[in-house]
Amino acid sequence: MNDVLETIKSRFDQHLYRHEGIKLDDVLTKINNPKTLASIKYMEETGGEVDVAFIAPLNLLILCDFSKETPKGRRSLCYDEKARLSRKKNAPISSAIEEANKNGILLMDLDIYNYLQNIEEFDLSTSSWIKNPREY
């Protein structure tokens, strides 16, 4: 998993504006565990660009995907299992919620999504799944 840590280090240094005031050593200490590293690895392997973001209004440090568009490895999904199972034709093999749960990832809520859009634009021609407020 050293390759995952190296990727995070490199991206952290390249995009300091995403996490002003945050120390890389603090991030590495928090993420250096098998579950978190496996989640990051999944996001990277499916075409993501994981980096650290500091959500100032919430005083929250998160790992999130800053790829400009939804990675190809995570497209063509329904929102959840119920939606997937209700598809009569061309049902996808999984859903955003199922993939997130299977890989130790949380979908972001609308407030975090909007805050991140102020840091850097993404989803210019694709769209991301946002956590349904009824699930809070």
Q: Please tell me the distance from the alpha carbon of residue 4 to that of residue 34, in angstroms, as a whole number.
A: 11
What average pLDDT does the segment 120-136 reach?
Answer: 81
What average pLDDT does the segment 23-48 reach?
Answer: 94
Nearest partner of 7 among 54, 49, 68, 36, judged by Cα: 49
**pLDDT at 1 (0 to 100):** 67
Cα–Cα distance list, 28 to 57, 63, 66, 131 (Å): 23, 11, 18, 27
Q: Which residue has the tokens 């939804």?
A: 70
Q: Which residues pair with 52 in a beta bridge?
A: 63
Token output for 36: 């978190």
pLDDT-based confidence at residue 128 (cuts at 50, 70, 90): confident
Spans of all domains in the chain: 2-73+109-127
DSSP 8-class letter at 78 = B
